[in-house]
Amino acid sequence: MNKRLYSEVYAILEALREDFGADYVARIPADVLKFISDSRDTEYTPILDKNKGYHEQGLSDDAVAALAMLKLNYLCETDEEKAELLNLLDTNEQALNEKMKSTTSALELLRLIRRSK
Amino acid sequence: MRENEASELCSDGVVICVQTIEFDNEKYILAREINFKNAAYFEFRSLDLRDPKSFFATEKNGEYSPVSSGLEKKLQKYADPLERKDGGIIIREAEESGESASDPELDERLSGELNSRKAEFIKAFTERYEQVFGKYFPEKYGETVLDNETREFVPKTHKRDQARNLDHTISEIIFDSSRPENCNGQYRTGNRKIAMCDEKLCRPEQNYISETLFHEIFHADTATYTTMDGKNWQANRVGVFTASKDGEKFVGTALNEGLTEYFASKLYGVKPNTYEANVALAKAMIGAFGEETMLKACYDGGEKLEQGFNKIFGEDKYAEFMHRADACYEFCNPSRTYIMSQPRDSLGSLLTTMINERVDDIIKEAPQNYNEQLDSLREASDKISKFVEADNFQQKRVGVAAYETRDRIAKLQKMLVPAKKNDSKLSSGRLADLFNSEHRHGANEFKLTILDDVMRQNWASNFYNYHFAFKNAEYLANESDLNGVMRGAQQRIDLVIEKGCTQDDVKQLGELRKVWEEALKNSLVNDASLLPSKAKSNIKTLIAKAKMFMAQKFAKPKDAQIENEVQATNPVQSGESLGVAANADPQRGVISMKDIEQIRDTFKEIIESERLTAKKEWEAAYAALEPDDPRRVWDISGDNFALNVRNNNGTPLEDILRDPPTSRNDALGKAMQLDEFVMEKEINRMVDKRLNGFAYTTLNGYNGDHRLLDSDMGKRLQRMDLASEKAILEKQQALLETKIDIAEWCERTYGKDAVIDKHIGELEQKYDDNKKALSAIGQRQKQLSTQSLEPRAQSYAQNTAFQNISASRVNELFQSVNRQMQQGINPVQRGRAL
């Protein structure tokens, strides 16, 4: 796995700590946090803009997916929130599949496949 | 030589001054450190920080030396890279910054004009100062300050000798920042108000002796140094009105401007017309601590204020006060439009709360000098009350609280202070006077509450709880005959106090009270049909025995006045004889330690005896149950059966629910009891806790102002409040579920019944209503949680961060991470996988 991915996840977690408080991030088990911290590229520190959403920070899709995974597993506050996120991910999945079916451009298809994985 | 100097405050109170020097047609820029830590005033100079690469060396003791590492760090943001030469002197040519050459003629003319104006202003300012505040400075101060001219520390003088200092201060401000042609150039000082002053001072037609200048001069006169954020000068006094080492310090900043505006306006002879919220806050402080204290705090720093505060409120309480005041003031962010009374009301309320808390501590700790401490608190409370009265507080509850607090202390003192010196006993009739005295909530309730203070030494944590304590007392008094009897017995203790006893006796009586309370709890448990009828009657017997015992022990001859008062103050006991009058004990005037121990032991014996009886009866009833009877699950082990019934899992609720009803009526009764007793108590406790937070009450006081509610602090408080409300509703739901279960079980066991059906219907309706309310709270919580977040966090909270992420991608990542974390426990796998 790309070390920069973990650097980005680490930066996101730091930002989450800032935005939502230390308790929020502390819901993630310590060994997972340690794994992320140990696995990251310490030379690479992504800079996040406070005035932009996470999806606008130019992070890799892998990092955002990892964030989704962490949120789903540890950070959702209620079952409803978790269901909402799952629903979103499923909807994204379906939309992507539809797009892949309908696209005729090989290049675009490759892009979509890459996005889906 | 032309000089251009800028300064910046370092954390240790050192001001870094930067100078541009023109010498032999070459420009040099140097930096030097000046320690203004103990200076009484500071320099305002013409400034230019637009040339940031102008820091090279420091000057100490007249010699230049290379910049220290600390200073270098400070300067790096301006000068990068720093250049040095051998010897450390200077030194680098300044970049062209478009400076215009000065006009000697203009300088001279202005200098002449300004000098005369300066003299006129100083005269006006100092005369007014002497008139208004001179009374506060009768003597010279013994502290030393840095003399601006000689750079030596000299004895610090105060307003009696202020003109000299003021002359320097003002001359710096006026001379160095008053060049109209360059007002927009490098000579313009950062502070907008100073710049305004300059313009006024430089134009003959302007009245330069203005409120604004008074305000700024007061800053200059009181501040120890200036701070600069790269743009603005600000007279400040770090550490004076700020307490917490970290976090924001709203009040410190607010008071700096608020006090300055207040005092400067007073000097000028007008009402403050700016910094309204700050002034309101300053007025609250002045109201509480006095004008002289606050004025001197402006000069001397907050240390003396802190010492005085801590002396009254206890160690480190000043820091706590400032911290809590910050929370109040956050509502009243000066950058917003707000109601001016709010900071003042908040602070008044906070001070009152803290006084009450201190009284609580004194009651708990019972220090030797309690009366002295109560005196100080009463004095502070008096000031607040007068301030409230004089200033027409908007929030009436603040005024009520202030007066109640003052009364509370006064009455406590009246009760606790011996009548004569060396007289350790409370004088006879003193309590009767106290109980007779008029009180906002009536003498009877006040009596119960004040007794709580002394007997239980457990006054509610703040004055809001006072009302709940009162409510609970009232509830208990009306709850049942049994409790009434207990209360009646308590009256006997009251009489003992009334007749006179030592403070040690009062403490001992507190322990006796615990025994009473234990009996009271048991009476509630038994009254709740948890024990077989015989056990219940036994408890009644216990109470009766107790009543008789106490009556005999504390019997007294008829004292029409006191007896009538006691009867009158006990609605439950009225008309019921405690057998106190006729068979009077001639020794009744003093209760001894031996008596108290005997009473306590006797009570323990009676209670233990009754518990054992109850346990035996219960065991027999248990043995008679059918094997499949649900009541078989009850735990009847343990010797202290009666206590186990109540205390096994800590709360009355769980104990009651552990015992299924024995009949239909019992089930209904139990359900009702849950409603009336457990639910009320439990939920009241939660409501009480909810109201307990000062922040909430502050919010509650201002919830009519949407601007405050919309502030970040307001949202935080709303979230806290919603969480409390949600917890209460969830608790209610759990209780309702249990009650429905009980009622349904009752129906299944004993057959259908219209009354039960109706009851279940009502419960279910309430359950549904609560469910809707919970749903609304959830939505509001979500709304609040996302509203106040930064855009970055909002995207995360609203899941927009994941708008391009598919489920399969997350799954794949999940598997990948799992593979990487093969060793040891895999926390991701342990978590809830997609």
Residue B543 tokens read as 């109470």
pLDDT of residue A53: 80
Q: Based on the domain organization, do A69 and A81 belong to the same domain?
A: no
In the three-class reduction of DSSP (H, G, I as helix; E, B as strand; rest coil), residue B644 is classed as helix
Which DSSP state fits B88? G
**Of B359, B583, B584, the residue nearest B453 (C-alpha):** B359
Q: Which residues of chain B neighbour A10 with C-beta distances below 8 Å?
A: none
Q: Looking at the complex, does the CB of residue B1 fall below 8 Å from at least one CB of chain A? A: no
List of residues 6+ apart from B63 with CB closer than 8 A = none
Q: Structural domain boundaries of chain B?
A: 3-99, 103-224, 238-417, 424-632, 664-797, 805-834
Burial of B398-427, coded b for 16+ CB within 10 Å and e otherwise, reads: bbebbbbbbbbbbbbeebbeeeeeeeebbe
Lowest pLDDT segment from A11-15, A25-29, B296-300: B296-300
pLDDT of residue B818: 75
Q: Based on the domain organization, do A37 and A61 belong to the same domain?
A: yes
Rounded to the nearest angstrom, the minimum Cα separation between B729 and chain A is 17
Higher pLDDT, B707 or B454: B707
Q: Based on the domain organization, do A57 and A42 belong to the same domain?
A: yes
pLDDT of residue B585: 36
**CB distance B351 to B288 below 8 Å:** yes
Residue B379: pLDDT over 60: yes
Handedness of CA B798, B803, B807, B810 (dihedral sign): negative
For testing contact with chain B, the best of A5, A54, A60, A70 (most B CBs within 10 A): A54
Look at phi and psi of residue B16 and say left if phi exceeds 0, alpha if psi is from -120 to 50, else beta.
Answer: beta
Q: Cα–Cα distance between B143 and B141 in angstroms, integer? A: 6
Tell me the range of B178-187, B467-476, B594-603 where mean pLDDT is highest: B594-603
Residue with tokens 């360059």: B182
Nearest CA in chain B to A87: B807
B343 — pLDDT class (breaks 50, 70, 90): low
**CB nearest B792 (choices: A53, A88, A96):** A53
Rounded to the nearest angstrom, the minimum Cα separation between A53 and chain B is 4
pLDDT of residue B679: 45
pLDDT of residue B133: 80
CB contact under 8 A, A1 and B833: no
pLDDT of residue A115: 54
Residues B86-100 pLDDT 10s: 222 222 222 233 333
Handedness of CA A84, A90, A94, A95 (dihedral sign): positive
**CB nearest B803 (choices: A55, A69, A72):** A55
The neighbour count for residue B191, using CB atoms within 10 Å, is: 23
pLDDT of residue B111: 53
CB contact under 8 A, A20 and B807: no
Q: Based on the domain organization, do A35 and A64 belong to the same domain?
A: yes
CB contact under 8 A, A53 and B828: no
Q: Cα–Cα distance between B212 and B214 in angstroms, integer? A: 5
Residue A10: pLDDT over 80: yes
When the pLDDT of each residue in chain B is averaged and rounded to a whole number, the result is: 52
Q: Which residues of chain A neighbour B817 with C-beta distances below 8 Å?
A: 1, 35, 66, 69
Domain with A28, as residue range(s), is: 1-75
Residue B736: pLDDT over 70: yes
CB contact under 8 A, B807 and A89: yes
Overall domain count for chain A: 2
Q: Based on the domain organization, do A69 and A103 belong to the same domain?
A: no
B151 — pLDDT class (breaks 50, 70, 90): low
Over range A80-93, report the average pLDDT. 84
Nearest CA in chain A to B804: A92
pLDDT of residue B647: 28
Higher pLDDT, B47 or B134: B134
> With a cut of 0.85, is the ipTM above it?
no
Residues B513-566 pLDDT 10s: 554 555 445 444 333 333 334 444 444 454 455 445 544 444 443 343 433 433
Q: Based on the domain organization, do A62 and A91 belong to the same domain?
A: no
**CB distance A52 to B794 below 8 Å:** no
CB contact under 8 A, B801 and A55: yes
**CB distance B21 to B29 below 8 Å:** yes
pLDDT of residue B12: 33
**CB distance B20 to B27 below 8 Å:** yes
The neighbour count for residue A45, using CB atoms within 10 Å, is: 13
Residue B377: pLDDT over 50: yes
Q: Cα–Cα distance between B364 and B752 in angstroms, integer? A: 54
Q: Cα–Cα distance between B428 and B497 in angstroms, integer? A: 9
Q: Based on the domain organization, do A57 and A87 belong to the same domain?
A: no
Rounded to the nearest angstrom, the minimum Cα separation between B816 and chain A is 8
Residue B465: pLDDT over 60: no
CA atoms within 13 A on the CB side of B59: 15
Q: Based on the domain organization, do A9 and A56 belong to the same domain?
A: yes
B834 — pLDDT class (breaks 50, 70, 90): very low
Q: Cα–Cα distance between B577 and B559 in angstroms, integer? A: 14
> What count of CB pairs under 8 Å joins A to B?
132
**Of B299, B91, B113, B312, the residue nearest B201 (C-alpha):** B113
Handedness of CA B432, B438, B443, B447 (dihedral sign): negative
pLDDT of residue B301: 62
Q: Are β-strands B14-23 and B26-35 bridged in parallel, bridged antiparallel, or unpaired?
A: antiparallel
Q: Cα–Cα distance between B217 and B165 in angstroms, integer? A: 11
A23 — pLDDT class (breaks 50, 70, 90): confident
The neighbour count for residue B25, using CB atoms within 10 Å, is: 5
Over range B327-340, report the average pLDDT. 51
Residue A105 tokens read as 């451009």
pLDDT of residue B608: 58
Quickly list DSSP for B300-351. Answer: H-HHHHHHHHHHHH-TTHHHHHHHHHHHHHGGG-TTS---THHHHHHHHHHH
B119 — pLDDT class (breaks 50, 70, 90): low
pLDDT of residue B250: 54
In the three-class reduction of DSSP (H, G, I as helix; E, B as strand; rest coil), residue B586 is classed as coil
List of residues 6+ apart from B168 with CB closer than 8 A = B41, B148, B149
Residue B499 tokens read as 């007749």
B628 — pLDDT class (breaks 50, 70, 90): low
Q: Cα–Cα distance between B488 and B26 in angstroms, integer? A: 96
CB contact under 8 A, B827 and A88: no
pLDDT of residue B678: 42
Over range B381-401, report the average pLDDT. 64
**CB nearest A19 (choices: B790, B804, B809):** B790
Higher pLDDT, B545 or B765: B765
Percent of chain B topping pLDDT 90: 0
Rounded to the nearest angstrom, the minimum Cα separation between B247 and chain A is 14
CB contact under 8 A, B808 and A116: yes
CB contact under 8 A, B827 and A29: yes
Rounded to the nearest angstrom, the minimum Cα separation between A65 and chain B is 5
Residue B304: pLDDT over 60: yes
* Partners of B144 in the β-ladder: B155
Q: Looking at the complex, does the CB of residue B723 fall below 8 Å from at least one CB of chain A? A: no
**Of B167, B152, B155, the residue nearest B114 (C-alpha):** B167
Q: Cα–Cα distance between A74 and A67 in angstroms, integer? A: 10
Residue B477: pLDDT over 60: no
**CB nearest B804 (choices: A15, A72, A115):** A115
Higher pLDDT, B165 or B411: B411
Higher pLDDT, B579 or B513: B513
In the three-class reduction of DSSP (H, G, I as helix; E, B as strand; rest coil), residue B93 is classed as coil
Over range B248-268, report the average pLDDT. 74
A62 — pLDDT class (breaks 50, 70, 90): confident
- Tell me the one-letter amino acid at B538: N
Q: Based on the domain organization, do A106 and A51 belong to the same domain?
A: no
CB contact under 8 A, A84 and B832: no
Higher pLDDT, B525 or B41: B525
B824 — pLDDT class (breaks 50, 70, 90): very low
Residue B636: pLDDT over 50: no
Q: Which residues of chain A neighbour B828 with C-beta distances below 8 Å?
A: 32, 69, 73
Q: Cα–Cα distance between B101 and B187 in angstroms, integer? A: 12
In the three-class reduction of DSSP (H, G, I as helix; E, B as strand; rest coil), residue B297 is classed as helix
Higher pLDDT, B89 or B629: B629
pLDDT of residue A16: 83
Residue B767: pLDDT over 80: yes
Q: Based on the domain organization, do A31 and A46 belong to the same domain?
A: yes
Q: Based on the domain organization, do A71 and A111 belong to the same domain?
A: no
Name the strand (E) or helix (H) holding B119.
Answer: helix B104-133
Q: Looking at the complex, does the CB of residue B816 fall below 8 Å from at least one CB of chain A? A: yes
Nearest CA in chain A to B801: A55
Mind spelling out the 3-state secondary structure of B608-636? Answer: HHHHHHHHHHHHHHHHCCCCCCHHHHCCC
Handedness of CA B583, B589, B594, B597 (dihedral sign): positive
Q: Looking at the complex, does the CB of residue B796 fall below 8 Å from at least one CB of chain A? A: yes
Nearest CA in chain B to A61: B805
Lowest pLDDT segment from B263-277, B364-378, B435-449: B435-449
Q: Which residues of chain A neighbour B833 with C-beta distances below 8 Å?
A: 73
Higher pLDDT, B834 or B317: B317
Residues B217-239 pLDDT 10s: 676 566 543 333 333 333 344 33
Q: Which residues of chain A neighbour B810 with C-beta distances below 8 Å?
A: 65, 68-69, 72, 89
Q: Based on the domain organization, do A102 and A58 belong to the same domain?
A: no
Q: Which of residues 7-36 of A touch B (CB under 8 A)?
A: 15-16, 19-20, 29, 31-32, 35
Residue with tokens 């009284």: B359
